[in-house]
Amino acid sequence: MNCAQQIPFPYSSSPSSSFFFYYIYITQDSPLLLFNITKHAFTMECCILSKLKTQPLWLLILFALGSFALLRFSLIFLNWVYVNFLRPPKNLKKYGSWALVTGPTDGIGKAFAFELARKGLNLVLVGRSPEKLKAVSDEITSKFQAKTTVKTIVVDFSGDLSSGVERIKEGIEGLDVGVVVNNVGVSYPYARFFHEVDEGLLSNLIKVNIEGTTKVTQAVLPGMLQRKKGAIVNIGSGAAIVIPSDPLYAVYAASKAYVDQFSRCLYVEYKKSGIDVQCQVPLYVATKMASIRRSSFFVPSTDGYAKAGVRWIGYEPRCTPYWPHTLLWALAYSLPESVVDAWRLRFCLGIRKRGQLKDSRKNE
């Protein structure tokens, strides 16, 4: 036999040995190589089985459960690595050449508009302020020049929503709107108990966060069904999904829980029609709504979040696109709910105290 190389492999013929070696001769005779590998593998298997037979049943059950848990964790971790770092984004132009974004004049919505324009999509921007819409439109047009066409539609989601939705339907008529980002939303000025929420704020939370998302989605669905393709992204919140409760923000958290369940139901309803519905669940992002000015590792800028968010469009029905947020989600999930509730209540009471102090200074 003409040996080319010897390679050591771990092996033991004795159950008491911890480390061992055997040699496989790599030759030009590949069937012999395969035979050697098979023989040694079979010997190892017999050795392991004979060792296991001498162990008590409880230890075997514990070993099996541990092996299953390790396998499950390994698969979850590998999937997490793949979807966050290796999975390619979808070609959004396959959904259509136009994207509609609500609340695009600031924060996450504006960042989404720029990121979608960077992907080569034309934009329909839907917001309340004509001046701000024009400013964002001019900024996008200036940056991407002839690459992107921008249309604007003025809708006050806290006002007459019926007439606003009709303007949306008229504005998108004849356009192959393939991507919709329902970003528009409002929150509390600062944390407060439910009995302290005035009628105006309560009405705005329900109209903007729930009715706005619902009716815009209903307005764009017929065109997507006709073309048998589309992607709808509804911006949810970690306040409704990641933590067990969000005290002093009860109505906001509840409205975002509606968005999550609404998205999941539509995902199931329309998946076979070629329409991908998704609820994105960000935690804290550096926005005016969150009252956070500086970004950090766990608090992305709006641009950082939008880049991650666009990568996830068309995939899972619920996702947290910014990967450090998934670490916080895992931490919250691993703690007892009572611990998270107590921490969150203390945190929100601090926000309430600072907000009341700020209001008192304004009234002086």
Which residue in the block uniquely carries the two structure tokens 């190892």?
A: 44
Angle at 124 (CA atoms; ends 204, 236), nearest 5 degrees: 45
Q: Radius of gyration of the chain from Cα atoms? A: 28
What is the reported pLDDT for 34?
A: 60
What is the reported pLDDT for 291?
A: 82
| pLDDT tens readout for residues 17-27 | 443 444 444 44
Query: Amino acid identity, residue 313?
Result: I
Residue 263's contacts (CB-CB under 8 Å, 6 or more residues apart) are 232, 234, 236, 277, 278, 279, 317, 318
**pTM given for the model:** 0.84
Catalytic residue among 252, 284, 305, 322: 252
Query: Amino acid identity, residue 226?
Result: Q
| Rounded Cα distance, 44 and 40, in Å | 6
What is the reported pLDDT for 32?
A: 63
Q: Does the annotation count 188 as an active-site position?
A: no
What is the reported pLDDT for 288?
A: 84
Pick from 144-148, 262-266, 310-314, 345-349: least confident: 144-148
What is the reported pLDDT for 16?
A: 42
| pLDDT tens readout for residues 268-297 | 999 999 999 999 999 999 998 888 889 999
Instruction: Please answer whether residues 10 and 17 qualify as being in contact, where contact means their C-beta atoms are separated by less than 8 angstroms.
Output: no
Instruction: Please answer whether residues 321 and 312 qualify as being in contact, where contact means their C-beta atoms are separated by less than 8 angstroms.
Output: yes
